[in-house]
């Protein structure tokens, strides 16, 4: 890998940067981090990263009519709608389904008509958790929890459908144990939907309108920390989200923060400068020999 110049565009979802990741990156010409958090952790590891975030299609992910969105999704009479858009991969889950379900059960004690929609596989198809069984064990009624259609999920829901989901929602739940970026967090806010995220890794920098929850550090097999979110903190954030439902000021903060991550804006403000810098660094440098200039790679 050291025989050519390669620039990995990568996530850092641990704190600090895992030693194994640092070792691999020693062979790279220059890493490019998804997040400012990742950029910071790579610098702490002695690397010299660039920063280019993910981008979203703001022509698709934009505010819409909540009532119409709910009607189109069959959620017309839902009193409060929370959503998770997270892959059910690995056990225990990096997306904190277990902690979210416990917090959701607590929230339902005061809001029995609320619905949590999980845009993910409910079973173990992708070596994930048995989420239907987990919900049953937690005592969450079926009326208060819904999952994506497995076949449509396999074939791929269109982006417009996801935008409609965010437009219909009152809050996005995404308190992952660690995030390299968190595309749904930005997509949801672009639609005016507040978020609940962890106060670690990339998530705080992407929380423009919403709430960060507390958590406890846990060492992973990569010999770096991810974080277990506090169940009571998630439940408290859900209550605040309910109290601030349809808060226009909060929605505006979401939209204004997310618009910066428009794909065209990211290409113009981040990718072009990053690639230009790499190109400039790779240009042959003239060297002086007995008063004459030669390119150092001239043959």
Residue 232: predicted pLDDT:
98
Q: Burial code of 237-256, b = ≥16 C-beta within 10 A, e = fewer?
A: bbeebbebeeeeebbebbbe
pLDDT tens digits for 21-46?
999 999 999 999 999 999 999 999 99
Six-digit token string for 78: 């839902």
pTM: predicted TM-score of the whole model, two decimal places = 0.94
Query: Distance of alpha carbon 63 from its chain centroid, rounded?
Result: 19
Of residues 291 and 288, more confidence is placed in 288
pLDDT tens digits for 153-197?
999 999 999 999 999 999 999 999 999 999 999 999 999 999 999
Which CA distances in Å does 88 have to 73, 127, 128, 273? 22, 8, 5, 36
Task: Name which of 211, 148, 170, 157 is nearest 66 in CA terms.
Answer: 170
Band of pLDDT at residue 299, cut at 50, 70 and 90: very low
pLDDT tens digits for 187-242?
999 999 999 999 999 999 999 999 999 999 999 999 999 999 999 999 999 999 99
Six-digit token string for 12: 């850092």
List the Cα angle 248/254/260 in 5-degree steps.
Answer: 140
């Amino acid at each position: 890998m050291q025989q050519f110049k390669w620039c990995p565009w990568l996530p850092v979802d641990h704190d600090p940067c895992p030693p194994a990741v640092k070792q691999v990156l020693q062979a790279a010409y220059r890493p490019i981090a998804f997040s400012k958090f990742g950029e910071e952790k790579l610098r702490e590891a002695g690397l010299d990263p660039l920063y280019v975030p993910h981008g979203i299609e703001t022509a698709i992910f934009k505010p819409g009519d909540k009532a119409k969105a709910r009607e189109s999704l069959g959620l017309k009479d839902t009193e409060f709608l929370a959503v998770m858009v997270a892959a059910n991969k690995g056990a225990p889950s990096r997306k904190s389904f277990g902690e979210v379900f416990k917090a959701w059960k607590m929230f339902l004690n005061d809001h029995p008509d609320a619905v949590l929609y999980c845009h993910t596989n409910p079973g173990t198809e992708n070596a994930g958790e048995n989420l239907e069984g987990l919900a049953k064990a937690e005592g969450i009624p079926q009326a208060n929890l819904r999952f994506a259609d497995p076949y449509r999920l396999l074939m791929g829901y269109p982006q417009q459908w996801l935008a409609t989901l965010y437009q219909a929602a009152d809050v996005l739940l995404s308190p992952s144990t660690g995030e390299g970026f968190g595309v749904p967090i930005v997509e949801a806010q672009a639609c005016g939907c507040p978020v609940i995220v962890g106060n670690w890794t990339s998530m705080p920098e992407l929380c423009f309108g919403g709430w960060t929850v507390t958590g406890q550090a846990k060492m992973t097999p990569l010999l770096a920390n991810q974080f277990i979110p506090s169940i009571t903190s998630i439940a408290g954030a859900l209550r605040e989200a309910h109290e601030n439902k349809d808060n226009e000021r909060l929605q505006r903060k979401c939209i204004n923060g997310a618009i910066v991550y428009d794909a065209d804006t990211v290409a113009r403000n981040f990718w072009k400068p990053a690639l230009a810098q790499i190109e400039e660094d790779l240009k042959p440098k003239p060297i002086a020999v007995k008063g004459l200039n030669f390119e150092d790679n001239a043959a």
